[in-house]
Structure 1
Amino acid sequence: MGALFHIDQVPIGPVSIALALIASMGGFIFGYDTGQISDMLLMPDFLLRFADCSSGATLETASNECVFTNVRSGLIVALLSIGTLSGALIGAPVADWLGRRYAMVTECGIFIVGVVVQITTTHVWQQLALGRLISGLAVGALSVAVPMYQAETAPAQIRGSLTATYQLFITFGILVAYCISIGTRQLDGPSSWRTVVGIGIVWPVILSTGILFMPESPRWLVFHNRNDRALHSIARVHGISYKEAQDHPLPNRLLAEIQSHVDVERQFAAQTGWIDCFRPKNKVLYRTLLGMSLQALQQLTGANYFFYFGATVFKSVGINDSFITQIILGAVNFICTFGGIYVMEKFGRRKPLIIGGIWQSIWLFVFAAAGTAKIPQDNPGIGKLMIVSACFFILGYAMTWAPGIWILIGETFPTRTRAKQASLATASNWCWNFLLAFFTPFIINAIAFRYGFVFASCNLLGAVVVYFFLYESSNLSLEAVDIMYNDPACKPWTSSSWVPAGYLNRRGLEEEKRQTQNDFAVID
């Protein structure tokens, strides 16, 4: 097999890259399902079938004679989030019971069922909403399993980059949904929207097939007393054959470190329940609340205001073809996420999130102020300024808060409660996702573009929360992250310089360990 490349002289195998790309199809499914609904709400056939239309409305007149009530559009958009909220909560026991890979396979099957329910309806909007609810169950469970699997399996040297591919694929899915929507909107009849929804079956098929060829999480394997398979898994991601791994110091040391940490965690409780996520000891409760807060604040950045309702928003500012505007925003989001992968790996987690929160707040303030100062439909310059502001907001979001929060969900929690804490944090994301998706039409009607001021304030709050409560977890093993959170001498604002006892710095961690490679020191 062999290593693909080395970082700090640590071999990185091709399987590391492959597992990140294949597992990230879960993010693509998430993004595709998020991006498709914004444009579908404006398609004439979709309006004619599911909106409230005046008598005698036709395909040619549907755009003017059909309209969704706030409740109906809110439910069609937001029931996906209710499903994802429920899916996030069941994602933990499923991932712990079946393993990370087989959990993903099961969830892909559920997603396909939801797609079939959607494309078989003709005029019943409730069936469409139910199908989105079922698909949401799968999306929510995948949003727990995928980042957790990537964080637990990827080498520490590239964990941030590989976990960030989940967010990259979310943005790619959104962009692809926009592009397919603009390509199908001229099709006759229900093909315009059924094609968009039906193509969604392809993505879970790719994920459920490809993930079976990838190694299982070594931490899950050790926790279930399958150490031989765990050693094989560690060896594969480092490009080492299983035969070589028997005597190779690197996989054996990593396995010993995981085993030691799991043994220590098992001393706290014979069985791990949900209540363990709320115990103050070892800062478990602290991290549960931190994860839930960060996921909520990611939603409150305002990004989904544009992704869910962008086509409607830009139509209201006088843009002739709001579909094109959506593609522009989607492209900015996708392209800038590549920069986000670099930023989160190069500069850690704390600084990008703090700077990103401030940057996003500035551009949302400009967006809201411009839309409030003058009527955009009567002032083309104001409309253009609002689009530019939205693009700069998306640029900052894609490079900081979008990938950063998903990385942190995979690497902040201890092994014993990681799945459940990740579920709670992700459920918080989907809870706020639902609230924003459902109530946004009502809020827009009440305060119009002043809604942007609310999101601007939330971005500033996010920067404050990160500064005072988030520890810097980049370039540390998951076991070392747990030790850092429990070090009373370490504070969030000093955590960037924290290193495990006996090591010079985080970048020099592997070099120090290689000097004592025959003494497999246990971190406990």
Structure 2
Amino acid sequence: MVSFLGHLGFRETFNSTLTFTIMLIAVSQFNFGFDQQGFNTTQAMSAFAKHYGWLNPKTKEYYLESWWLSLFTGLPYIGFGIGIILGSMVSNRWGRRMCMFTMSVWSLIATTIIMTANNRDHLLAGRILAYIYIGMELAVVPIFQSEITPEKARGFIVGTYQLSLGVGGLVVNGIARATGDLNSPAAFRIIYGLFYLVPATVACGIWFVPESPRWLAMKGCQEEALASLTRFRKNKFSETEINDEMAKINYGITREVEKGTFMEMFQNKQTTKRTLVVIFTNFFLQTTGSLFASVYGAYFTKQLAFINPFTITVSNSALQIVACILAMLMVDKLGRRNVIFIGGSIQTAGLFVMGGLGLVTNPNVAIKSAIVAMMVVMTFGFTIGWAPVSHIISAEVPSMRLRDITYRTASIVNIATQFAVTFSMPYLLNAPYAALGSKVGLIFGSMCISSLVFVFFCVPECKGRKLEDIDLLFESKVPLRHFGRVRIDDALRERYVKPVDQGNDEDVSKAGMAVQVEHSA
């Protein structure tokens, strides 16, 4: 295990300041998983349906209407979108730390509203406001992490975003399973509120960590940027190495001509290519079936009426944590593309089998068990592939000056897609509408295949690259599929053409820049 982790270089590159900062940022992410999985669990609670639902006069059972479930799961993404825009603007103008402080304070306000909600309209309003926090979090966390982490471990660290979501989900699902339905929605709201006080820790602690040196350099604060980078690298890197990294950051910033406006994301072929890679990455993240399990998993399992849904959600959350850790360990060793292919293949297989089983009329317990098992398999594959790697790609691919605006735009696409999927899901699952049930796996499975085709042709391999070197590869017009095979040297930075071995890499040599092609075995 030690040799397998050696490629991440933790001992050689992570000092106490960097480690504390990474851990503090990770703490702020627990609440997204707690919220998403918490309300997934809530929908399956009998007490929740009784308190907020309607009584069926024929069956004498309480139920939640499809239209209200659509609103309950879909409308919070309005707050998500607002949070993305606000978080990106605050992060870009006033810094990563200010964004994290602001979102943490806001979460305390939203939590209070949720904890005091006595009716479902009140609860829905509080959840919309809470998602402003989650949107701000998504806007800043992966970017902040990518800007302060050495390139060897960048994929691993940005992957903690998904790991923290899994931990938050496991906590709330474990509570629901241990307490047996929590007895009342009020009990859940209290627990929800207690866990949402976690951001108070972030709000207090964030001022004790350095600001992103890349953000400071972009704002022209050279002395502050060097001081910040020194704090993140002290005792692990020599003064010469720190100054060299700072010089590369400044070189990358001064070389770019973008000013960070929306239209400049599409000003030429290379910036357009980078923008579209990030946008479609966020689109496929949400259209490959993950929301079916994360938002409606417990509710769907309860409808099958053969197993305790909380048992499945706890098992699923625990398995997600294992899968995410595996992905974090693999992504800097095998590469972003390969990890998505591994996870995406598992995900696709699970979805198609689940969808095929849904074609069986009047399924018995064995069929229902297999459907639930395939939902778990699908989630496992998603958590290995798309879940953590999408955030890494979104943080790495945009250029420095366009990183905030590109990430903001792609995140809005992400949110719009989430809204469309979650809002339509009750109508796809339930009668008297489409009533597809697990047959939705056939729809999402087809999207999974499309996503893998996209990755093969369009997603560049950026493992082990400095963010500034990724900029060079795009400027060199290296084909996206060849990013992982190009070695950068000083000659490339001086725009000197020196092909080492063209072989079958004619597309690479056509870049007209200094590249050295490394042929993998």
TM-score range, shorter chain: 0.7 to 0.9
**Structure 1 residues 351, 300: CA separation in 2 closer, same or farther (over 3 Å shift)?**
same
Q: 2:469 aligns with which of 461, 480, 493?
A: 480
**Structure 1 residues 54, 353: CA separation in 2 closer, same or farther (over 3 Å shift)?**
closer
Q: 2:244 aligns with which of 226, 244, 253?
A: 253
Given that residues 106 and 133 in structure 2 are in contact (C-alpha distance below 8 angstroms), is that contact kept between their aligned partners in structure 1? yes
Secondary structure, counterpart of 1:494 in structure 2: helix
Q: What TM-score, normalized by structure 2, do the two folds share?
A: 0.88
Instruction: List, as ranges, runs of 4+ consecutive aligned residues in structure 1 with deviation greater than 6 Å.
Output: none
Residue in structure 1 matched with residue 443 of structure 2 by the alignment = 454
Secondary structure, counterpart of 2:358 in structure 1: helix
Amino acid at match of 1:340: A
**Structure 1 residues 316, 49: CA separation in 2 closer, same or farther (over 3 Å shift)?**
closer
| Per-residue deviation, 1:452 | 0.5
Equivalences for residues 52-67 of structure 1 within 5 A: 52-53=54-55, 65-67=61-63
Secondary structure, counterpart of 2:13 in structure 1: strand
| Per-residue deviation, 1:7 | 3.1
Name whichever of 283-292 and 471-480 sits farther off.
Answer: 283-292
Q: 1:358 aligns with which of 323, 339, 345?
A: 345
Residue in structure 2 matched with residue 373 of structure 1 by the alignment = 360
Given that residues 323 and 384 in structure 2 are in contact (C-alpha distance below 8 angstroms), is that contact kept between their aligned partners in structure 1? yes
Is 1:441 the counterpart of 2:426? The answer is yes
Q: What TM-score, normalized by structure 1, do the two folds share?
A: 0.87
| Per-residue deviation, 1:503 | 8.4
**Structure 1 residues 261, 413: CA separation in 2 closer, same or farther (over 3 Å shift)?**
same
Equivalences for residues 121-200 of structure 1 within 5 A: 121-123=117-119, 125-200=120-195
Given that residues 10 and 153 in structure 2 are in contact (C-alpha distance below 8 angstroms), is that contact kept between their aligned partners in structure 1? no
Given that residues 49 and 122 in structure 1 are in contact (C-alpha distance below 8 angstroms), is that contact kept between their aligned partners in structure 2? no
Equivalences for residues 13-412 of structure 1 within 5 A: 13-53=15-55, 65-123=61-119, 125-240=120-235, 248-265=239-256, 268=257, 271-280=259-268, 283-376=270-363, 379-412=364-397
For 2:74 and 2:318, locate their aligned partners in 1 and report how far apart those are by CA, in whole Å.
24
Secondary structure, counterpart of 2:229 in structure 1: helix
Given that residues 318 and 380 in structure 1 are in contact (C-alpha distance below 8 angstroms), is that contact kept between their aligned partners in structure 2? no
For 2:211 and 2:33, locate their aligned partners in 1 and report how far apart those are by CA, in whole Å.
25
Name whichever of 334-343 and 110-119 sits farther off.
Answer: 110-119
Gaps spanning 5+ residues in structure 1: where? 505-522
| Per-residue deviation, 1:344 | 0.7
For 1:351 and 1:216, locate their aligned partners in 2 and report how far apart those are by CA, in whole Å.
33
Gaps spanning 5+ residues in structure 2: where? 1-5, 493-514, 516-521
Secondary structure, counterpart of 1:53 in structure 2: strand
| Per-residue deviation, 1:259 | 1.0
**Structure 1 residues 503, 22: CA separation in 2 closer, same or farther (over 3 Å shift)?**
farther
| Per-residue deviation, 1:497 | 0.7
| Per-residue deviation, 1:277 | 2.1
Given that residues 176 and 182 in structure 2 are in contact (C-alpha distance below 8 angstroms), is that contact kept between their aligned partners in structure 1? no
| Per-residue deviation, 1:192 | 2.7
Given that residues 92 and 423 in structure 1 are in contact (C-alpha distance below 8 angstroms), is that contact kept between their aligned partners in structure 2? yes
| Per-residue deviation, 1:197 | 2.3
**Structure 1 residues 77, 315: CA separation in 2 closer, same or farther (over 3 Å shift)?**
same
| Per-residue deviation, 1:369 | 0.9
Task: Give CA deviations for 1:234-267 in whole Å, capped at 9, x if unaligned.
Answer: 22222339xx97xx111100111111111122xx
| Per-residue deviation, 1:27 | 2.5
Secondary structure, counterpart of 1:327 in structure 2: helix
Residue in structure 2 matched with residue 519 of structure 1 by the alignment = none
**Structure 1 residues 35, 86: CA separation in 2 closer, same or farther (over 3 Å shift)?**
same
| Per-residue deviation, 1:388 | 2.1
For 2:487 and 2:171, locate their aligned partners in 1 and report how far apart those are by CA, in whole Å.
42
| Per-residue deviation, 1:359 | 2.2
| Per-residue deviation, 1:164 | 0.8
Given that residues 292 and 425 in structure 1 are in contact (C-alpha distance below 8 angstroms), is that contact kept between their aligned partners in structure 2? yes
For 2:136 and 2:475, locate their aligned partners in 1 and report how far apart those are by CA, in whole Å.
29
For 1:272 and 1:234, locate their aligned partners in 2 and report how far apart those are by CA, in whole Å.
23
For 2:375 and 2:47, locate their aligned partners in 1 and report how far apart those are by CA, in whole Å.
29
| Per-residue deviation, 1:70 | 1.1
Task: Give CA deviations for 1:416-447 in whole Å, capped at 9, x if unaligned.
Answer: 01011111112222211111111100011212
| Per-residue deviation, 1:384 | 1.8
| Per-residue deviation, 1:318 | 3.0
| Per-residue deviation, 1:492 | 2.0
For 1:290 and 1:166, locate their aligned partners in 2 and report how far apart those are by CA, in whole Å.
20
For 1:74 and 1:416, locate their aligned partners in 2 and report how far apart those are by CA, in whole Å.
38
Residue in structure 2 matched with residue 513 of structure 1 by the alignment = none
Identity of aligned residues (%): 24
Amino acid at match of 2:106: I
Given that residues 355 and 463 in structure 1 are in contact (C-alpha distance below 8 angstroms), is that contact kept between their aligned partners in structure 2? no
| Per-residue deviation, 1:307 | 1.1
**Structure 1 residues 22, 317: CA separation in 2 closer, same or farther (over 3 Å shift)?**
same
Amino acid at match of 2:137: L
For 2:197 and 2:116, locate their aligned partners in 1 and report how far apart those are by CA, in whole Å.
17
Amino acid at match of 2:442: F
| Per-residue deviation, 1:228 | 2.1
Secondary structure, counterpart of 1:215 in structure 2: coil
Given that residues 223 and 262 in structure 1 are in contact (C-alpha distance below 8 angstroms), is that contact kept between their aligned partners in structure 2? yes
Given that residues 16 and 237 in structure 1 are in contact (C-alpha distance below 8 angstroms), is that contact kept between their aligned partners in structure 2? yes
| Per-residue deviation, 1:91 | 2.0
For 1:119 and 1:170, locate their aligned partners in 2 and report how far apart those are by CA, in whole Å.
21
Given that residues 31 and 196 in structure 2 are in contact (C-alpha distance below 8 angstroms), is that contact kept between their aligned partners in structure 1? no
Given that residues 25 and 166 in structure 1 are in contact (C-alpha distance below 8 angstroms), is that contact kept between their aligned partners in structure 2? no
Amino acid at match of 2:281: L
Task: Give CA deviations for 1:453-502 in whole Å, capped at 9, x if unaligned.
Answer: 011011111111011111111100000011112222x2122221112134
| Per-residue deviation, 1:188 | 4.8
Residue in structure 2 matched with residue 509 of structure 1 by the alignment = none
Task: Give CA deviations for 1:164-221 in whole Å, capped at 9, x if unaligned.
Answer: 1111111111111211233455555443321232123222122222322222111001
Is 1:500 the counterpart of 2:488? The answer is yes
**Structure 1 residues 158, 257: CA separation in 2 closer, same or farther (over 3 Å shift)?**
same
